[in-house]
Copies of this chain bind each other. A is one copy, B any other.
């Protein structure tokens, strides 16, 4: 089966200098892949240079010059940027010219545009953002919502659990992924009304493998396969975790530079530290999915480099191959008939 992915080549902190090398690398890896680069044709052609014929056949350019700025408001982008690389990439999914799209553009604008163009699946009130997080286990934990919704109700959180279960089951090949609800403690009496109501909905559902409340540190222990939370909470948890990792790396580097002896040891230890940081390299976890839409939209981190962006494309390919939106629809239809 051939997979066609549209890439928003103009967005993110870097645009074409990151997107084009990532595209070429992935085309070499996947022989049945066709990529559509959406952006300024002249600059794109220049960046592509002369490519071997077998790549050339699986690569096309969709010309457009408009770009959504990283700090542009979602409503402004929606009204005024109808020819932006972001909007056109999503249009290609809507028109079934692409099976998925990937953008490193601003999250708010991407979500608003994708929701407007593609619409939500039946039974889904609000799309959510999901990503994989590194854990002490072999499998990552998938966590949602990461910031699309800042005031989710119990019903919304329940829908996130359904979507998260389906995606995790598909991409990790797990039959009944375990689901945990993020709270301030594991005991039933802990938390606010919203999590208590959500917990009841999840306990009563026959299709969710719900294990109960989990806490912030459980995300990285890998206590469950799917972590469900409101977007406000998920966004803060994700960024606190990023901040902690940067803090640790800051003091580690500082310590290894303190003396000639520690610098020498630091150099010798470098390959080991590299191997270690590979395990938790955030680039390998790049590629968040906008779940609950009638189409596959992957958000790459705005500051992602070529390696990071290539992982976002891999996530898109995986979700196309596993047919994630149709699986979610199927699961929701089952829910409505039980």
Contact = CB atoms under 8 A, between A and B. Distances in A.
Interface of A: 71, 73, 134-136, 147, 150-151, 182, 184, 187, 189, 191-193, 215-221, 229, 231-233, 235-248, 250-252, 254-256, 258, 262, 265-266, 268-269, 272-273, 275-276, 279-280
Given A73-B189, A265-B268, A279-B251, A241 B239 contact: no
30 contacts: A71-B187, A73-B189, A134-B247, A135-B247, A136-B247, A182-B236, A184-B231, A184-B236, A191-B232, A216-B238, A216-B239, A216-B243, A217-B242, A217-B243, A220-B246, A220-B247, A236-B237, A237-B237, A241-B243, A241-B244, A244-B244, A245-B248, A248-B248, A248-B280, A251-B280, A254-B276, A254-B279, A255-B272, A255-B273, A265-B272
Of A193, A243, A266, which is in contact with the most chain B CB atoms at under 10 Å from its CB?
A243
Contacts of A147: 184
Given A184-B147, A256-B272, A276-B254, A218 B236 contact: no
Number of copies: 2
Contacts of A150: 184, 191-192
B269 A265 contact: yes
Contacts of A246: 136, 217, 220-221
Contact of A280 (B71, B247, B256): B247
Main secondary structure of the interface of A (DSSP, over half): helix
Contacts of A243: 216-221, 241
Of A215, A216, A231, A232, which is in contact with the most chain B CB atoms at under 10 Å from its CB?
A232
A130 to B, nearest CB: 16
B272 A258 contact: yes
